[in-house]
A = this chain, B = another copy of it.
């Protein structure tokens, strides 16, 4: 049994190694620069071995996404456990998102690729299910907080809207601002230089707009960020907040 376990461990390690290298390639050389030959060569195993782990290139890419989202959800769930008023916890989620993107900068890319190259459809059913699961946890973490806010009376959704609508806006803005930051050079030259800080301000403005109490004018969310960094992520506040908010 010990032999089997060791073997299994070997396999799991190799699988991770493949994903690490595939991710590097995706980032450095783009979708077209990512090919099975190069991956096999880079890990030092044969192509056939790579195919024993992933039934196709699409499957590998899907696994890459799942793995990345799993990592992201860890940050989100850690943030959700942070103690404080709901909007404080949502601020912690935003911090978790930032930390995740900083630590795994390929996230947005993977997500874009999944969309653009219809990889998802070609991935195995198992991978598709894994994707849906992790997505559900991710949404659960975020929307749970919004739900708590409504329950405790910190926020009242207007008629015709629900908390998911608001979360959709938050998600879209976070994702969109990251991509836009890379695309739109012209706007970039005019706006404040710290793109992340601009994103934060827009996030708080959006929550203010939805009337989530306490409003940013009524509370020091920069302090909340610092506290969350220390308590939820055990990070040096200095490493987290460059500017006051």
Taking Cβ atoms with an 8 Å cutoff, the residues of A that contact B are 30-32, 109, 111-118, 132, 135-136, 139, 143, 160-162, 164-169, 171-187, 190-192, 195, 198-199, 201-202, 204-210, 243
Which residues of chain B come closer than 8 Å to A198, judged between CB atoms? 161, 165, 168-169
Q: Are B116 and A31 in contact (CB under 8 A)?
A: yes
Which residues of chain B come closer than 8 Å to A185, judged between CB atoms? 132, 135
Q: Are A202 and B166 in contact (CB under 8 A)?
A: yes
Q: Are A117 and B164 in contact (CB under 8 A)?
A: no
Count identical subunits in the complex: 4
Tell me the nearest residue of chain B to A244, going by C-beta: B160
Q: Are B30 and A116 in contact (CB under 8 A)?
A: yes
Which residues of chain B come closer than 8 Å to A139, judged between CB atoms? 184, 186-187, 190
Whole-angstrom distance between the alpha carbons of A198 and B158 in the complex? 12
3 closest pairs, A vs B, by CB?
A: A176-B176, A169-B202, A205-B209
Could you write out 14 A-B pairs with CB less than 8 Å apart?
A114-B183, A135-B187, A136-B186, A139-B190, A162-B191, A165-B201, A168-B191, A169-B177, A169-B198, A171-B176, A172-B175, A172-B176, A176-B180, A205-B209
